[in-house]
Chain A
Amino acid sequence: MSKDVKIDIQHITRVEGHGNIKIDVQSGELKECKLEIVEAPRFFEAMLKNRHYDESALITSRICGICSVGHVLGSLTASEDAFGIKISEQEKNLRCLMNIGEHYESHVLHIYFLAVPDFAGAKSVLPLVNTHKDVVVRALKLKKLGHEIGNMIGGRLIHPTAMRVKAMTKIPTPEILHDIIHRLEEAKTELKKDIGILKTFIIPNFERETEYISLYKYGEYAFLEGNIYSSDIGETSYKNYLDITNEYLVDHSTAKRAKHNRKSYMVGALARFNNNHQWLSEDAKTIAADLGLKAPCYNPYMITIAQFVELFHLADEGIKAAQSLLDNGVELENRKFTIKPGRGIGAVEVPRGILFHDYVYNDQGYIQKANCIIPTGQNLQNIEDDFRALVPTILDKSKEDISLMLEMLVRAYDPCISCSAHILNVEFE
C-alpha cells in the first residue's frame, strides 16, 4: 500500500503527564515514529544531595502523586538496605496494605477512567455518568477504598505521613483491620460485577513478543522484595539492577530510556503476570482464565486486563496481611538503629512496573549520591517499538482510527510521564 499518513498528537489526554505521538508514513513507508516526552524535568536526584535519610522518602514521594507510596517503599527499602536494617513481619504486613491501597487507587483510575472510555466510545468518564452511573459510582468507591486504606494505615495515600525507615509511626486498631478485611472482600464482589462489561470490549488483536522484566521471589507474586527476573535470561540479583536498565538519552524525550537483552523491554502488570502468574491467588487465576488472559501474553492492550486480575490477587493478599496483624497483635515498634555509611538499593513493584532507588549515604546519614529508575522510562522504547510493529498493519484504517489505536496503546501502558521525566540518575560529587 502506498499511503501517506501524518499523525501529530500533542499532549495525549487521559495519561499522567505530558507526551506527544508523532508518526509519519510516506508512500506506505514508516519514516518517523516517536513517543515524545515533553514534561518539564524536575531534577529530583540533584535535590536529594545532602538531605537526611528521614527526608529521602518525603522528597521522592513527590516525584509522583499516583505512585507516591511506591516511591516511599522504594526509598525506605534502599535506606534499609544501606543501613543493614531488617524490617519486622508487622512492618511487612503494614507496607503490604499500603501497597494494596496504592494499586487500588492507581489500577482503578487507569482501568475505569482512562482506558474504559475508549472501549465505550466516549471521550472521558463524564458522559458515562449518565449512561453507566452504577459502574462509575462503583469505580469511584473502589478508588476511594485505596485512599482510605492509605489514610488508615499510612496517614494519607498521596504522600503518606507515617511511613518511615525501619517502622511506621502509626499503627491501626483491630477495628480498622476488621474493616479493611470486610471492605476488601466487598471490593472483590463489586469488581466481579464488571466482568460482563469487560468481556464485551473488543481488545485490538495485536501481538509483539518482547522481553518481560519484573521483581521475582520464588513462591510469591512479588511486590515488595526479591530479585529481578527477565523472561529472556532468568534471575539477576537486585543489587545488579544497572546491568538490566542500561539507561540512555534520546533527543525527543526528557525521560531516560532503558534496554537490556534486546532493543527494548516491558515492565508492569503484564510483565508481572507473564513472569509470576503461577503465584496469583486462586480467585485471581479464575478471573484471568475467564477473561482470556493466558501466560505468556504478547498483546500490550491486555495490560489493562492484567491490572484487573491483579486487583483480585491484591485483595486476597490484603486480607491475609490484615488477618496476620490481627492474629499476632500490633504494637508501635522501636525505630532506633545505627547509621552506617554506604550504598543501598531498593527494588519494588509499583503499579506501572519495577522501580529502583539507589542511594549512597555518608556516616551522618546524609545522601551523597542518588539514582532512581522509573517504570515508565523503562517502557518508553518498548511502546515505540510496538508503534513500529503496529502502524504498518493498520494503514488501511482512517487517520482518526489509527490515532485512536495509538493513543489506546499508550494508555494501555498506563504511562506515568511525570515520574519518567522527574529525572533521575544522578552522579553528583
Chain B
Amino acid sequence: MSKPKVAFFDFASCEGCQLCVLDLHPEQLLDLLNVIDIVEFREAISEKADTFDIAIIEGSITRESDIPRLQKIRDKAKILIALGACAHIGGINALKNFQTKDEYQEAVYPTAPQKYETSHARAISEVVQVDAFIPGCPIDTNEFIKVVKNLVLGKKPGLPDYPVCMECKKNENVCVYELGMQCLGPVIRAGCDARCPSNGGYCFGCRGLITEPNLHSQKDIIQKYNLTYEKMMDKFKLFLERNKEVFPK
C-alpha cells in the first residue's frame, strides 16, 4: 500500500500548531514519515503539491478572498482535518467579532480603515465540510499523532468527549474555583491533561465544548462561588464566539 500524501495549509493563525508538528520527538517524526508522505508544508519545505490525500488546515477564514483557496483544497482532499482552535472553532480570531467591522478596522488602521480586506472570523467547518479536527491552542502533539494515525488506518479520530475536570481531578489539582478563579473546565473537552489548571492557570476553552455540555451546572457553579454570570460569559468570549450554544445571537 502506498503512503497517503499529506499537505499542510494555513489561513489566519499564528502557525503555532504547525510548529507543534515540527516539535515532535525525532523518533516520532521519523516514525510518522514511515506512514505518511508530507508533500506540502510551506513553513518547512519548498515543494508544492498538485495532489494529496489528506489536507491539514490551520487557521480561521477572515477574508472572502480566501474562500476559493479553501474550496480548492477541499475539492482535492479525500480527508480534510481542521488543525487547532482557529480552524476548529474560530479560536482567538473570533474575539474581534464582538466588535463591528468599522470598530476594529478603525482601531487598527485609524488613517486608512478600509485599506485591507477583512470580514468576521469563522471556523473552517462554517465554509467547507470538515472530516476531523485536532483541537487546542495550541494542539497537543501526542493527540496529533494519534488522530493522524487513526485516520490513516481508516479508524475514528478517537478524541475524548468528557470535560477537562476529569483530567484535573486525576492530576489531584485543587479546584480552580476554590482558588477564586473562573474556569471553563466543566464544559470543555479534555485531552490536554488539564494543562492550564495544572500549571496555576484556568481553562479558557481553547478545545471547544464537549458534545453534551451541562451549561446549567456551570451556572450553579458560579452561584456557589459567588461569581457573576457576566464575568463567566466574558471568559467564554476568548475562544468560543462561534459556538451557538454559548452565544446564540
A107 within 8 A of B: no
Is there contact, CB below 8 Å, between A65 and B25?
no
B108 within 8 A of A: yes
Contacts of B115 in A (CB 8 A): 249, 251
A155 within 8 A of B: yes
Is there contact, CB below 8 Å, between A14 and B14?
no
Among listed B44-52, B207-215, B222-230, interface-contacting one = B44-52
Is there contact, CB below 8 Å, between A161 and B92?
no
Cα(A136)–Cα(B47), bound, Å: 19
CB-CB contacts below 8 Å: A399-413 with B = none
Among listed A141-149, A232-240, A315-323, interface-contacting one = A141-149
Is there contact, CB below 8 Å, between A13 and B46?
yes
Residue of A124, A137, A418 touching B44 (CB-CB under 8 A)? A124
B126 within 8 A of A: no
Q: B181-223 CB contact bits vs A (8 Å, 1 = yes)?
A: 0000000000000011011110010000000000000000000
With A43-B96, A43-B104, A140-B29 in contact, is A13–B45 under 8 Å at CB?
yes
CB-CB contacts below 8 Å: B104-152 with A = 104-112, 115-116, 118, 137-138
CB-CB contacts below 8 Å: A38-58 with B = 39-43, 45-47, 49, 55, 58
Is there contact, CB below 8 Å, between A161 and B26?
no
Residue of A15, A125, A155 touching B196 (CB-CB under 8 A)? A155
Cα(A418)–Cα(B86), bound, Å: 14
A170 within 8 A of B: yes
B99 within 8 A of A: yes
Q: Bin chain A's interface residue count.
A: 35 or more
A345 within 8 A of B: no
Secondary structure of the A side of the interface? loop
Residue of B33, B47, B111 touching A124 (CB-CB under 8 A)? B47
Q: A374-397 CB contact bits vs B (8 Å, 1 = yes)?
A: 000000000000000000000000
With A43-B104, A65-B16, A169-B201 in contact, is A11–B22 under 8 Å at CB?
no
Contacts of A424 in B (CB 8 A): 108
Residue of B11, B41, B99, B198 touching A46 (CB-CB under 8 A)? B99
Is there contact, CB below 8 Å, between B116 and A254?
yes
Is there contact, CB below 8 Å, between B46 and A124?
yes
Q: How near does chain A come to B59, taking the closest CB pair, in angstroms? A: 8
Residues of chain A whose beta carbon lies under 8 Å from any beta carbon of chain B: 11, 13-17, 39-43, 45-47, 49, 55, 58-59, 62-66, 68, 105, 109, 113-114, 117, 123-126, 129, 136-137, 140-141, 143-144, 147, 154-156, 158-159, 161-162, 164, 168-170, 249, 251, 254, 418, 422-428
* New contact pairs (18) apart from A59-B95, A427-B110, CB-CB < 8 Å: A17-B15, A46-B103, A59-B92, A62-B137, A65-B13, A66-B14, A123-B46, A123-B47, A129-B30, A137-B26, A155-B195, A159-B138, A161-B201, A164-B200, A169-B200, A170-B199, A170-B200, A428-B107
The 3 closest A-B pairs by CB, nearest first: A65-B16, A169-B200, A124-B45
Residues of chain B whose beta carbon lies under 8 Å from any beta carbon of chain A: 11-20, 22-23, 25-26, 29-30, 33, 38, 41-48, 62-63, 66, 91-93, 95-96, 99, 103-112, 115-116, 118, 137-138, 195-196, 198-201, 204, 238
